[in-house]
C-alpha cells in the first residue's frame, strides 16, 4: 500500500509530532458546570506563573467573528469563540492560556478563577431553561413528506406505535482534535481535519482575511468519524493567539476534553408509527424525532438526515417525518459515522420487527414483501434511490446467517435478528462535487484531489485508480490531498464520499490528461489528435512515439458532479442471552453490503469491519453518561465510556458484498464507510428481542447500550 504502510508501522506524522521553532502551547479554561451566568474571569494569579505568554478571554477576541456552523439554521444564535456572558455546557471554553510548554499552560489554566452563577440545566430535549434570551430552545422544526391520511391509520389491519432512544455517543477517534497555527503570509494552519477547504473558509471569514491568506495543511490524522469537519471555537482562539503573539501556537486536545467538550453523535428520542394490511404490506410510516443538539447550533439541521431516510428499504406509499432540534445544556451534537442514517434504520427496523411479531410473520418474509424492487425509486420524503437489488442482498444475508440452524433447542435463550438499510453517500447539494487533477512531471505523475484522508488508504487506492486509467505502474503515481496550498478547491472526506466523488474526479482528470497529451503530440507532429494514440504513457502515431514525460509539465483537471448515491445492505445476527445475568453473546454476525462497484476490496473490507466495530459499540457498550443537568458522569474517562475492543468482535463474522453499479458515477462506485454503524444496532437488538420474547420478556424495555442490567430487566415479567 504505497504511502500508507507507514501508518501501520508507527511512522505517521501527526499534528502533535510537528516540530516548529518557537512554538507555544495552548490550554483552555473550561466551564466546570453545564449552565451558568459568567460574571467574571480572574487571570491575575495565572498571568504571574512561569512560562505564560498570554491569556485570552472573550474581551480579547472582539475582532474575531462568530464560529461558523455547517449545519446550523438561518436564524441560529451567535456562537462566540470564547464564552461571553453565559456558559451553556460543561467544558465550554472560557479562556485560553498560551505558555512555553503544555504543562505550564495547564498549570496556569488551573489557576484561572471563574465567577459563575449557576442556572438550571437540562440534558433532555424540550426541557431546557431557555439558553438564549432572543431565541427559542426549539432550534429547528421541519416536516418531510405529506402527512399520513387519517383513514390510513383507521383502516389499517394493524398499527405499531413505538418509542426508541438513540443515546449520545462520543466519536472517540484515536487522535483527538489538534491544531498548530503559524502566523505569516499566508497564515498556515496544520490541523487534524476532514474538510481543509471548509476550515480555510471558516478561519478566513472569522478573521476578515481573504481565503488565499490562509493555508490549511492536514498532516496524518488519527481518525475523525465526522467530528473533525467543523471549524471549532478552539481553532479560532488558537489562530487569534498566534496572530496576536506573532508566534506559532499549538493545541492538542486531551481525552478528558474530548469526552466532555468535543462534539457528540446521535442523541434522539424517536416515535414511530407503522400501519400495515392483513398481508403485511406496509401502508404508512410516521417518524417523529426530537433531537438534542447541545448548547450550540453546530448540527441543528443534521437530524433531517433521519427524516429523509424514513422510508428505509421499503416501498411505502405514505411516509411522513417530523424533526425537532432542541438546545440542551450539553456539548454540541454533530455528525458521527452515518450521521442520521443509523438513527433512521434503528427506528424503522425495530418497528418492522414489532410489526412482524404482531402479524405472526417471519421478519425476513415481512421485509421481502415490502422491499423496493424498481429503480430509480422516489421516496415520499424526497430521496431518489438510484439502483439496487435489495432482495438479493437480503437473500444472501439469510444464506450466510442460516437462521433455521439456530432455532432448535439450546441451553440458553437464543435469538436471531435481521435489519435492512439504505444509506446516502456523497453528500447533499453544495458538496455534490469534487476537484481532481493529474500532472505529468519528469519523475512521474501526481494526482491532486479535494478529499482529505483521516486514516483511509487514499494514497493506495487513488494512486492505483489513476495508474489504471493511464495504464502505468502505480509506483510512478503520487497523491496530494489535504493541503489548500496545493489543491485549489475541495469538499473533504465525510459522508462516505471520497472514492465516489474524489475518485471520479481523478478519473476524469486522468482522461483529460490523455486528451491533452494527444493534442500536444499531434501539434508537434502536425497531425490531428485522432491520429495519436495513448499507450501506457507513450504517445504513438505510426512509427512516431513520444514519452509523455517529454511534455512535462503537463496538467489537466476535472470537476465531477453527481447526485448522491444510495448504498444498501442486510445484516443478520445470532445472539445468546444469559438468563441469570442478562449478558449478550454474539454467536454469528453477517454483513452483506452493496457499495456498487468496488475498486479495492481490501480497503472496503477494512471500512466495513471498522464500522461494524463502532456499531457494536453503540448497541452493546457505549453511551455518554450525563446527569439531569447535562454534566458528564464519567470520572474515569475511557474506563467509564466503554469502547469495543478486538475481544468484543464476534468470532463468527461473515462479511460479503453484492455489487449493483451506481448509474450516476463513471466508476459505478457508492460510499462504503458507514454501513456497520447503520446495520448492526437494529439487527443486534432485534436478535435480543427474539431471544427474550418466548421467556415472557418485554422487548419494548430494551434500550441501547444493551448492558446486562438493561437486558435482565427487560427479561423480567
Q: Tell me: the pLDDT tens digits for 145-199? A: 999 999 999 999 999 999 999 999 999 999 999 999 999 999 999 999 999 999 9
C-alpha cell at 472: 502505468
Length of the chain: 717
- Tens of pLDDT along 342-373? 999 999 999 999 999 999 999 999 999 999 99
Per the CB < 8 A criterion, the answer to whether 27 and 109 are in contact is yes
How much is the average pLDDT of 47-57?
98
Q: In what order do the strands lie in the sheet with 554-561?
A: 477-480, 444-449, 433-441, 554-561
Q: How many CB atoms lie within 10 A of CB 130?
A: 11
Taking the C-alpha atoms of residue 435 and residue 454, their distance in angstroms, rounded to an integer, is 18
Q: Which of 525, 529, 490 minimizes the C-alpha distance to 506? A: 490
- pLDDT at residue 137 above 80? yes
Taking the C-alpha atoms of residue 588 and residue 576, their distance in angstroms, rounded to an integer, is 10
Surface-to-core class of residue 210, CB atoms within 10 Å of its CB (0-12 exposed, 13-18 middle, 19+ buried): exposed
Taking phi first (over 0 means left), then psi (-120 to 50 degrees means alpha), and beta for anything else, what does residue 172 get? Answer: left
CA dihedral over 261, 263, 265, 268, signed as positive or negative:
positive
Any residues with CB less than 8 A from the CB of 163 and at least 6 apart, and which? 269, 270, 271, 272
- Tens of pLDDT along 419-446? 999 999 999 999 999 999 999 999 899 9
> What pLDDT shows up at residue 129?
65
- pLDDT at residue 4 above 90? no
Q: What is the pTM of this model?
A: 0.96
Element (H, E) at 593: strand 584-594
- pLDDT at residue 126 above 80? no
Element (H, E) at 266: strand 265-276
Per the CB < 8 A criterion, the answer to whether 447 and 467 are in contact is no
Q: Which of 293, 305, 229 minimizes the C-alpha distance to 76? A: 293
Longest C-alpha distance within the chain, in Å? 88
Q: What is the average pLDDT score of the chain?
A: 96
Q: Which of 174, 37, 25, 42 minimizes the C-alpha distance to 113? A: 42
- Tens of pLDDT along 208-245? 999 999 999 999 999 999 999 999 999 999 999 999 99
Q: What CATH architecture applies to the domain 5-119+174-224+228-260?
A: Alpha-Beta Complex (3.90)
Residues forming beta bridges with residue 144, ordered by sequence position? 321
pLDDT confidence tier of residue 543, bands split at 50, 70 and 90: very high
- pLDDT at residue 566 above 50? yes
How much is the average pLDDT of 81-106?
97
Per the CB < 8 A criterion, the answer to whether 123 and 329 are in contact is yes
Percent of the chain topping pLDDT 70: 99
- Tens of pLDDT along 236-282? 999 999 999 999 999 999 999 999 999 999 999 999 999 999 999 99
- pLDDT at residue 488 above 80? yes
> What pLDDT shows up at residue 407?
80
Taking phi first (over 0 means left), then psi (-120 to 50 degrees means alpha), and beta for anything else, what does residue 582 get? Answer: left
- pLDDT at residue 1 above 50? no
CA 334 and chain centroid, separation: 9
Which residues of the chain form CATH 3.90.1170.50? Answer: 5-119+174-224+228-260
- pLDDT at residue 409 above 80? no
C-alpha cell at 44: 491575575
Q: What angle in degrees, to the nearest 10, is found between the helix axes of 675-692 and 601-616?
A: 50
> What pLDDT shows up at residue 2?
58
Taking the C-alpha atoms of residue 120 and residue 437, their distance in angstroms, rounded to an integer, is 54
Q: Would strands 158-169 and 265-276 be described as parallel, antiparallel, or unpaired?
A: antiparallel
> What pLDDT shows up at residue 408?
74
Taking phi first (over 0 means left), then psi (-120 to 50 degrees means alpha), and beta for anything else, what does residue 630 get? Answer: left
Quick one: fold of 433-561? Answer: Aldehyde Oxidoreductase; domain 4 (3.30.365)
Under CATH, which number does the domain 339-425+566-715 receive? 3.30.365.10
Which residues of the chain form CATH 3.30.365.10? Answer: 339-425+566-715, 433-561
Amino acid at each position: 500500500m504505497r504511502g500508507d504502510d507507514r501508518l501501520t508501522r508507527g511512522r505517521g506524522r501527526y499534528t502533535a509530532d510537528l516540530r516548529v521553532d518557537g512554538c507555544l502551547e495552548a490550554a483552555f479554561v473550561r466551564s466546570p458546570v453545564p449552565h451558568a451566568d459568567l460574571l467574571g474571569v480572574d487571570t491575575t494569579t495565572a498571568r504571574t506563573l512561569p512560562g505564560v505568554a498570554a491569556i485570552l478571554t472573550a474581551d480579547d477576541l472582539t475582532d474575531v467573528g462568530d464560529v461558523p456552523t455547517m449545519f446550523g439554521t438561518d436564524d441560529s444564535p451567535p456562537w462566540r469563540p470564547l464564552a461571553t456572558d453565559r456558559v451553556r455546557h460543561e467544558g465550554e471554553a472560557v479562556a485560553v492560556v498560551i505558555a512555553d510548554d503544555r504543562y505550564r499552560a495547564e498549570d496556569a489554566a488551573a489557576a484561572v478563577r471563574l465567577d459563575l452563577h449557576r442556572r438550571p440545566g437540562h440534558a433532555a430535549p424540550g426541557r431546557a431553561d431557555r439558553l438564549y434570551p432572543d431565541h427559542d430552545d426549539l432550534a429547528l422544526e421541519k416536516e418531510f413528506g405529506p402527512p399520513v391520511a387519517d383513514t390510513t391509520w383507521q383502516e389499517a389491519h394493524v398499527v405499531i406505535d413505538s418509542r426508541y432512544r438513540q443515546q449520545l455517543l462520543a466519536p472517540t477517534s484515536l487522535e483527538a482534535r489538534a491544531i498548530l497555527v503559524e502566523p505569516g503570509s499566508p497564515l498556515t494552519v496544520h490541523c487534524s481535519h476532514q474538510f481543509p477547504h471548509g476550515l480555510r473558509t471558516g478561519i478566513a471569514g472569522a478573521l476578515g482575511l481573504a481565503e488565499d491568506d490562509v493555508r490549511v495543511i492536514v498532516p496524518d490524522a488519527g481518525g475523525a468519524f465526522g467530528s473533525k469537519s467543523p471549524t471549532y471555537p478552539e481553532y479560532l482562539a488558537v489562530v487569534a493567539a498566534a496572530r496576536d503573539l506573532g508566534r506559532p501556537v499549538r493545541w492538542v486536545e486531551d481525552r478528558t476534553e474530548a469526552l466532555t467538550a468535543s462534539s457528540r453523535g446521535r442523541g434522539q428520542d424517536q416515535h414511530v408509527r407503522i400501519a400495515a394490511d392483513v398481508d403485511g404490506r406496509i401502508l404508512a410510516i410516521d417518524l417523529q424525532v426530537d433531537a438534542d443538539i447541545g448548547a450550540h447550533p453546530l448540527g441543528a439541521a443534521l437530524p433531517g438526515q433521519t427524516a429523509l431516510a424514513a422510508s428505509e428499504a421499503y416501498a411505502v406509499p405514505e411516509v411522513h417525518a417530523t424533526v425537532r432540534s432542541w438546545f440542551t445544556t450539553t456539548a454540541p451534537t454533530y455528525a458521527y459515522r452515518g450521521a442520521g442514517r443509523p438513527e433512521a434504520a434503528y427506528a424503522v427496523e425495530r418497528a418492522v420487527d414489532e410489526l412482524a411479531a404482531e402479524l405472526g410473520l417471519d421478519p425476513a418474509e415481512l421485509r421481502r414483501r415490502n422491499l423496493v424492487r424498481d429503480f430509480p425509486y422516489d421516496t415520499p420524503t424526497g430521496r431518489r434511490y438510484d439502483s439496487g437489488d435489495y432482495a438479493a442482498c437480503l437473500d444472501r444475508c439469510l444464506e450466510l446467517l442460516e437462521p433455521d440452524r439456530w432455532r432448535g433447542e439450546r441451553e440458553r435463550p437464543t435469538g436471531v435478528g435481521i435489519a435492512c438499510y439504505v444509506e446516502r453517500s456523497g453528500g447533499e447539494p453544495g458538496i455534490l462535487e469534487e476537484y481532481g487533477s493529474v500532472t505529468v512531471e519528469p519523475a512521474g505523475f501526481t494526482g491532486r484531489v479535494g478529499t482529505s484522508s483521516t486514516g483511509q488508504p487514499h494514497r493506495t487506492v487513488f494512486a492505483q485508480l489513476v495508474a489504471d486509467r493511464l495504464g502505468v505502474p502505480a509506483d510512478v503515481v503520487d497523491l496530494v490531498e489535504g493541503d489548500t496550498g496545493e489543491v485549489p478547491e475541495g469538499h473533504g472526506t465525510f459522508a462516505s464520499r471520497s472514492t465516489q466523488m474524489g475518485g471520479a474526479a481523478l478519473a476524469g482528470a486522468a482522461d483529460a490528461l490523455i486528451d491533452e497529451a494527444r493534442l500536444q503530440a499531434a501539434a508537434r507532429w502536425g497531425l490531428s489528435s485522432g491520429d495519436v494514440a495513448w499507450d501506457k504513457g507513450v504517445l504513438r502515431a505510426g512509427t512516431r512515439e513520444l514519452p509523455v514525460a517529454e511534455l512535462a509539465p503537463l496538467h489537466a483537471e476535472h470537476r465531477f458532479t453527481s447526485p448522491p448515491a444510495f448504498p444498501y445492505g442486510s445484516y443478520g445476527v445470532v445472539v445468546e442471552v444469559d438468563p441469570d445475568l442478562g449478558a449478550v453473546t454474539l454467536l454469528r454476525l453477517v454483513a452483506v453490503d452493496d457499495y456498487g462497484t468496488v475498486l479495492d476490496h481490501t480497503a472496503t473490507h477494512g471500512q466495513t469491519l471498522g464500522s461494524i466495530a463502532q456499531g457494536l459499540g453503540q448497541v452493546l457498550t457505549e453511551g455518554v453518561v450525563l446527569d439531569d443537568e447535562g454534566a458528564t458522569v464519567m470520572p474515569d474517562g475511557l474506563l467509564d465510556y466503554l469502547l469495543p475492543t478486538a475481544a468484543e468482535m464476534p468470532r463468527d463474522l461473515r462479511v460479503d458484498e453484492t455489487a449493483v453499479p451506481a448509474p450516476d458515477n463513471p466508476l459505478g462506485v457508492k460510499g462504503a464507510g458507514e454501513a456497520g454503524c447503520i446495520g448492526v444496532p437494529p439487527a443486534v437488538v432485534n436478535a435480543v428481542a427474539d431471544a427474550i420474547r418466548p421467556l415472557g420478556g418485554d422487548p419494548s424495555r430494551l434500550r441501547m447500550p444493551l448492558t446486562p442490567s438493561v437486558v435482565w430487566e427487560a427479561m423480567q415479567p
